[in-house]
Chains A and B, each alone.
Chain A
Amino acid sequence: MRLLLIEDDVEFAKRLAADLRRSGFAVDLTDNGVDGEFLGDEGLHDVVVLDLGLPQRPGLEVLRNWRARGNDVPVIVLTARDAWYERVEGFQAGADDYLGKPFHVEELVARLRALVHRRKGFVGQHLQLGDLRLDQDRREVQLGSAVHALTATEFKLLHYFMLHPGTVLSKARLVEHVYDEGFDRDSNLIEVYIRRLRDKLGQQRIQTRRGQGYVLVDDSH
């Protein structure tokens, strides 16, 4: 899951980005409102963490501009300005959630997951698709009674598949949403990870659509 972090406190942002990467997010980072707005409009990100007090363009303006253009990317506002009138203003501008500083990373991660899952129609932090259950804290996948540990990339990939069940996902799209900008993006690597996932989940769970990409199917029925 690819996340855009727009935060002007560089030291804090770097630490947070590292924490979020450890939690399974591919994180792109920017420290001003103008670049943030531009990146958010590219449609590559599954969720945005937005600070309000940004240089060049305030966070609320960035958010309003996105919503005015029909960009409905899920946004969590992360700010030290968390009086209730500011929260009302933030939500009215189009925020999906609001987290006041200081906060614990686990709380932000939980809220991010809940937000993305809610957008995709899932309830709670963990993803369940038929007999397939993804435990995000332990980074494990449970298939019936069998439990398999996942590597970071396998986890990101499966997570993305499970958020889009039945949807044909191209290799390019998978690369975009699994890796952040700084990563060496070799789409052939995706095939390797797909193969590894098939080894753990069975060959029919992730099917290949020739010339189009891959699709995760729910074959529990």
Chain B
Amino acid sequence: MKSVQHSLSIGLSLSLVLLMVLLLWLGSTLVRRLSEDLIASRLVDDAETLVAAFDSTGLPAPELSRRLHNPIYERPYSGRYYLLRLADGSELRSRSLWDETLKLPVVDTGGTHRQRIAGPAGQSLLLLAKNYQKQGQRFTLAIAEDLTPVQQDVAFFQLVFGVVSVAVLLVIVVVQRLIVRRSFRQLDLVREDIQRLERGEIDELSQHVPSEVLPLVRELNRLLQLLGNRVERSRNALGNLSHALKGPLNLIVQQLDSEALNDQPDFRRRMGEQADRIHQLMERELRRARLTGAATPGRRFDAAKEVSNLFDVVRKMHSDKPLDLQCDIPQESVLPFDREDMLELMGNLLDNAAKWAGSTVRCSILSGETVSLSVEDDGPGCSRQKLDLLSQRGVRLDESKAGHGLGLAIACDIVGLYEGEIHFEHSSDLGGLAVRVTFPRLSIAPAA
């Protein structure tokens, strides 16, 4: 998954590294250039002095007057050198060159040649060379200075700049991360809101968020409301449809029960079966259509409270026998499931258990990584083959008890809608049927 914070850090680091490399290169170049220009200007001065010291008048060979001579050109390998080459090839060299020589470049007449060359004792020299004419003599004067101190200064500058740059880069990246994290902390509120929404604790997201995400939050809230309204409208419409269909169906059932048909038992039975079938199909499809499933937000099922309500209902509906309804549900067990869906599921399972139970029905809900619920009874139970058949579509195992099968089929539909699993087993504790349901826990990953 893309992390905005990671992308910002990488982007900022790369930009800063690029900027610092550029500054380092620019700084080094400027320092080197300024230093070299300074050296060159000194060399020009020295060259002028040497030319002034050139004297060939009345001498067997030209020489340089000692009077104008800088002592640094006398000290061997001092880093300051000159070489004067006459037109006949004879040379005047500074003592500082000792046994070495300077390689003279070809110099254009009138121009000053400037270049870097390798000098004695491994030195790197900046060399200036120019052609002169004095006292009838033509000569080329090359004068050079060691660049090593300049190069050392540049290297030192680069080292200091590099160290300071890396430190500044680290500080900026850390500060940026802190700023980004601080800014994103406001987004944590949205994330917490979404988690609360998922747990069904709120119906819409809070709008106290940074302006950058406010449009997103508003749009989400609008969609949530739209979804909620649609579910509500659809449920109402289905309720109305069910009501409208059951009226006429009820009249048909009533007609079939009337004494007028006492002499037509076959007709009554066949029509009764068809009416029953229509009722079953209608009931199942309409109830399925009413289910919302895991996609709806803002869901909340307070298991302990609602199961207690269902126990009251089941007790009253099965008042013909004393029922011991046992409940093992933690008080704080609030599940992120739609209330109507869960009431339909638990209602059907408890009603079926109560229908078959001798006297005891036990219901438990465990909520952890997954949500497991079970409903057991102490009734006659089912054989292995029947247990396998039970979860199939609309299978009705015993015609002797009204509605049996439909409730369990609807329960299977609900479990399927929530991507859970339902198993029908023999209850080892109570001896009857045990229905066990497992749901994956619906949750949003916690903040990193």
Interface residues of A (CB under 8 A from B): 9, 11-12, 15-16, 19, 53, 79-81, 83-85, 87-88, 91-92, 95-98, 100-107, 114-115, 118, 124
Contacts and interface: CB of A to CB of B under 8 A. Distances in A.
Contacts of A105: 254, 257
A104 B256 CA distance: 9
B309 A19 contact: no
A81 B243 contact: yes
Residue of B252, B343, B344 with most partner-chain A CB within 10 A = B343
A101 B247 contact: yes
Interface stretch (B103-111, B314-322, B372-380): B314-322
Given A80-B247, A84-B343, A103 B310 contact: no
B249 A83 contact: no
Given A12-B247, A12-B250, A103-B250, A97 B257 contact: no
Nearest to A18: B258
Chain B facing A: main interface SS: helix
A19 to B, nearest CB: 7
A97 B317 contact: yes
A12 B251 contact: yes
Contacts of A87: 313, 317, 347
B343 A102 contact: no
Given A97-B316, A102-B252, A103-B253, A84 B247 contact: no
A91 B247 contact: no
Nearest to A78: B250
Contact of B254 (A19, A85, A95): A19
A126 to B, nearest CB: 12
A85 B250 contact: no
Contacts of B191: none
B275 A88 contact: no
A108 to B, nearest CB: 10
Given A88-B309, A88-B343, A102 B250 contact: yes
Contact of A85 (B251, B258, B279, B339): B339
Nearest to B275: A102
A43 to B, nearest CB: 23
B249 A102 contact: yes
B290 A101 contact: no
A97 B254 CA distance: 20
A91 B246 contact: no
Contact of A81 (B239, B252, B309): B239
Contacts of B249: 101-102
B436 interface: no
A83 B339 CA distance: 12
9 contacts: A12-B247, A15-B258, A80-B242, A84-B347, A87-B347, A88-B306, A88-B309, A102-B279, A104-B257
Contacts of B312: 91
B91 interface: no
Contacts of B279: 102
Contacts of A92: 309
Contacts of B287: 83
B340 interface: yes
B319 A118 contact: yes
A98 B312 CA distance: 12
Interface in B387-408: 402
Contacts of A9: 247
A105 B245 CA distance: 19
A9 B247 CA distance: 8
B348 interface: yes
